[in-house]
Amino acid sequence: MTTNTAVLEARDLSRTVDQPGGPKSLLRNISFRLDQGQVLAVLGPSGAGKSTLLRLLNRLDEPTSGTVLLQGADTRDMDPRTLRRRVGMVMQQAYLFPGAAAANVRYGPAQHGIVLEDSQVADLIRQVGMAGYEDHDVSTLSGGEAQRISIARALANQPEVLLLDEPTSALDDLSKQDIEHLLASLVRERNMTCVWVTHDVAQARRVADLVLRLEAGQSIAFGTSQELLHA
């Protein structure tokens, strides 16, 4: 019996959508629990439901059934905006807002009435390896640089959990490595709880403690990275 509450827990999460041809099940009965500082890799082929699962965790999509618990509290009882501040997300593409890098980093805290100091912004931008880029227009950044700024933008909210949706798969090989390395070290340094979606088994082996394998919306394996990937 464990008495400590998990940082993030999913219980029997399912999502079904209505389609012209009848209801379509995107995800069925997914459960897992993550303690502080654990990294869960979600592995599976394209279309398996990996993004759908992440989007249920910060409620960008609505679960049809099942529960998400954050520090033991049902996320349905929270204001979605509060939930999303506490559970940050980095997507496959950076999707930066037009303007300066610094404005992007300030965006999240500003949504909750917090104005970051210049030094805090500079610090976040430095932590993602972009020191001095505060005033750069985001339209001039490369894919890898933009992804770094989007990571700083997510971290600015000081989330308790970080959701990563294939954060390296839209990048060239060199940036892939750099960004993976950056994320892995940021997550370890901060002892962050993290759900990291990837279709790259080697990446999962390098970064994850736990692994969830999805196929056609169903969990086909859940266990430690040791058990599932190093055998």
Write out the residues near Mg ion by the rule CB under 5 A: 51
Residue 50 in the binding site for other proteins (CB under 8 A): no
The nearest distance, CB 183 to other proteins, in angstroms, is: 16
Q: Is 186 in the site for other proteins (CB under 8 A)?
A: no
What is the identity of the amino acid at 28? R
Select from ligand ADP, Mg ion, other proteins, none the partner in contact with residue 58, using the beta carbon and a kind-dependent cut-off of 5 to 8 Å. other proteins
Residue 157 binding: pick among other proteins, ligand ADP, Mg ion, none (C-beta 5-8 Å cut-off by kind): other proteins
Distance of closest approach, residue 160 Cβ to ligand ADP, in angstroms: 23
Q: From the DSSP assignment, how many helices (H) and strands (E) are in the chain? A: 8, 10
Around Cβ 101, how many Cβ atoms within 10 Å?
28
DSSP E strands, 91-227:
161-165, 193-198, 210-215, 218-224
Among 172, 194, 173, CA closest to 183: 194
Quick one: 62 or 137, whose CB is closer to other proteins? 62
Least separation, in Å, of the C-beta of 200 and other proteins? 22
CB-CB neighbours of 164 under 10 Å: 27
Q: Which residues contact 132 (CB under 8 A, 6 or more apart)?
A: 125
Indicate which single residue of 97, 131, 226, 227 sits in contact with other proteins (rule: CB under 8 A): 97
Indicate the DSSP class of residue 38: -
- Residues of span 51-110 touching ligand ADP by CB under 6 A: 51-52
Q: How far is CA 36 from the centre of its chain?
A: 15
Surface-to-core class of residue 1, CB atoms within 10 Å of its CB (0-12 exposed, 13-18 middle, 19+ buried): exposed
CB of 51 to other proteins, least distance (A): 11
Q: Which stretch binds other proteins (CB under 8 A): 5-13, 74-82, 134-142, 185-193?
A: 74-82
Q: Give the orientation angle of helix 118-127 with respect to helix 143-155, to 10 degrees.
A: 130
Report residue 111: phi and psi, to 5°: -65, -15
The one among 45, 73, 74, 82 contacting other proteins by CB under 8 A: 82
User: Under the rule (CB under 6 A), what is the footprint of ligand ADP?
Assistant: 17, 19, 24, 26, 44, 46-52
User: Under the rule (CB under 8 A), what is the footprint of other proteins?
Assistant: 58-62, 80-82, 84-85, 88-89, 91, 93, 95, 97, 107-108, 111-112, 150, 153-154, 157
